[in-house]
C-alpha cells in the first residue's frame, strides 16, 4: 500500500498532500493538548510509531506472487484516539520513506492520507459504533478489517485514475493500470488476506492491553493517566518481542501490487505486451536514494539487516518521544 514516487502525477501528489496537511495540523494541535494533560502520552507516541512500523514489516504472501502487511492505524486509534494515531503512523511512514525507501517522498501525502488519516479515523468511528452497543470485540475486528480495506480502496483509486487523467495520446504517463485493474488487484489482496492479518494483530494487542488495563475501555486507553505508565512499559516489552520476530517478514517473497521498481514493472509489462516501455513519468521521474534501501544494512546478511533496520527506527521513535516529552514539560514549567 506504500505508493512509490512517480506512480502518481505531481498534481496528484500535491492534491493528496493538500488534503492530508490540515488534518495533520489539527491532529498535532489535539495531541499537544493531550500530552499536556497526560505526560505518558509523549512516550506512547514513540511506542505507537514503533508498533505500526513493526507491524508493517511482517509481510505475508498473497496468491498471485505478491505480498501484503498490516498497518496498525485502527489499533492505535483505539488505544490513543484517532488524532494521536494519525501522528504516530505519519511519523512511521515518513521514516520509512526517507530512511528505507519504503514509499515515495513525493507520494508521502497520498500514503499519509490513506494509512494515517482515512484508516484510523474511519476505523475508530466504526469501533465506537460497536463499543457503544457493548460489542467491543466485534468492533475491534470489524473496524480494523474495514479500516485497512478503505485505505486499500483509496490507494487503488489514486493509482487507477492516473492513466485516465494523465496520458499522452492514450499512453499512460505514470501508473499504467486503470481502475479495472487496480481496484480488483488491491481489494482482493486486502479483503482476502491483509484485512484478516490486520484484524488478528489488532485483536491480539488490544486483548493484551485489556489484560494489563482491567478497567473497561470507554474511550482511548491513554486518556486514563493511572493506566498510561503501565501500558507504555508493557507495550515496550511487546515491541521487543515483535522485534525478535521481524525476520519472519522476509519469508514472503514478491513485491506488493503497485510498489514495483522500474525494472520490475518493465518486466511485468513485457509479459503481456512484448516491447512495452516504461511510462515517461516513471522513466524520467523523481529519484531519491535512501540510506538503507529495502531495510538492508551494508555488510550484513538480510535477516540481521532487517532487525537492525527495525532497531534503528525504534531508537529514533524513542528519542522523538523523549524530545516531545521534554519540550512539553519545559513549556508547562514556563507557563507556571
Please tell me the predicted confidence (pLDDT) of residue 224.
52
168-172: Cβ within 8 A, 24+ apart: 168/280, 171/279, 172/279
Q: For the chain, where are the alpha helices, taking DSSP H only?
A: 10-37, 41-57, 73-80, 82-100, 108-112, 119-131, 136-160, 162-165, 179-189, 195-212, 225-245, 262-272, 280-283, 302-335
d(CA 57, CA 270): 30
d(CA 34, CA 231): 16
In which region does residue 166 sit, left (phi positive, over 0), alpha (psi from -120 to 50) or beta (all else)?
A: beta
d(CA 70, CA 65): 17
Grid cell of 75 as nine digits: 489499533
Grid cell of 33 as nine digits: 493538548
Q: Mean pLDDT, consecutive 10-residue segments, the chain of 336 residues?
A: 96 98 95 81 89 93 84 94 95 96 96 98 97 95 98 98 95 97 96 95 90 59 56 85 90 88 93 91 92 88 91 92 74 56
Q: Are 321 and 134 in contact (CB under 8 A)?
A: no
Q: Are 234 and 211 in contact (CB under 8 A)?
A: no
Please tell me the predicted confidence (pLDDT) of residue 216.
46
d(CA 210, CA 76): 14
d(CA 57, CA 201): 13
Please tell me the predicted confidence (pLDDT) of residue 11.
97
Please tell me the predicted confidence (pLDDT) of residue 335.
56
> Residue 60: helix, strand or coil by DSSP?
strand
Grid cell of 220 as nine digits: 482511548
Count Cα neighbours of 100 within 13 Å in the Cβ-side half-sphere: 24
Q: Which domains does the chain have, with CATH numbers?
A: 10-335 (1.10.1760.20)
Q: What is the pTM of this model?
A: 0.93
Q: H/E element holding 168?
A: strand 167-168
Amino acid at each position: 500500500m506504500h505508493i512509490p514516487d512517480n506512480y502518481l502525477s505531481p498534481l496528484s501528489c500535491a492534491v493528496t498532500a493538500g488534503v492530508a496537511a490540515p488534518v495533520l495540523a489539527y491532529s498535532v494541535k489535539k495531541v499537544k493538548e493531550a500530552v499536556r494533560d497526560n505526560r505518558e502520552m509523549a512516550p506512547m507516541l514513540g511506542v505507537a510509531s514503533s508498533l505500526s512500523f513493526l507491524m508493517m514489516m511482517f509481510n505475508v504472501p498473497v496468491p498471485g506472487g505478491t505480498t501484503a502487511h498490516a498497518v496498525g492505524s485502527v489499533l492505535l486509534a483505539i488505544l490513543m484516539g484517532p488524532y494521536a494515531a494519525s501522528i504516530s503512523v505519519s511519523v512511521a511512514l515518513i521514516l520509512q520513506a526517507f530512511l528505507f525507501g519504503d514509499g515515495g517522498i513525493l507520494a508521502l501525502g497520498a500514503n499519509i492520507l490513506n494509512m494515517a488519516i482515512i484508516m484510523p479515523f474511519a476505523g475508530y468511528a466504526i469501533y465506537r459504533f460497536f463499543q457503544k452497543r457493548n460489542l467491543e470485540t466485534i468492533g475491534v475486528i470489524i473496524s480494523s478489517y474495514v479500516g485497512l480495506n478503505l485505505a486499500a480502496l483509496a490507494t487503488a483509486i489514486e493509482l487507477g485514475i492516473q492513466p485516465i487523467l494523465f496520458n499522452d495520446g492514450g499512453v499512460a504517463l505514470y501508473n499504467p493500470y486503470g481502475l479495472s485493474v487496480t481496484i480488483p488487484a488491491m481489494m482482493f489482496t486486502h479483503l482476502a488476506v491483509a484485512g484478516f492479518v490486520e484484524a488478528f494483530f489488532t485483536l491480539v494487542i488490544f486483548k493484551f492491553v485489556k489484560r494489563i488495563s482491567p478497567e473497561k475501555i470507554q474511550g482511548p486507553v491513554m486518556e486514563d493517566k493511572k493506566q498510561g505508565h503501565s501500558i507504555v512499559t508493557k507495550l515496550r516489552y511487546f515491541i521487543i518481542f515483535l522485534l525478535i520476530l521481524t525476520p519472519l517478514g522476509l519469508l514472503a517473497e514478491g513485491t506488493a501490487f503497485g510498489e514495483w521498481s522500474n525494472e520490475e514493472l518493465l518486466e511485468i509489462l513485457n509479459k503481456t505486451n512484448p516491447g512495452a516501455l516504461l511510462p515517461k513519468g516513471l522513466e524520467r521521474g523523481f529519484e531519491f536514494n535512501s540510506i538503507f534501501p529495502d531495510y538492508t544494512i551494508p555488510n550484513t546478511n538480510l535477516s540481521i539487516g532487517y532487525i537492525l533496520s527495525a532497531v534503528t527506527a525504534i531508537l529514533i521513535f524513542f528519542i522523538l518521544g523523549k524530545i516531545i516529552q521534554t519540550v512539553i514539560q519545559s513549556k508547562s514549567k514556563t507557563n507556571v
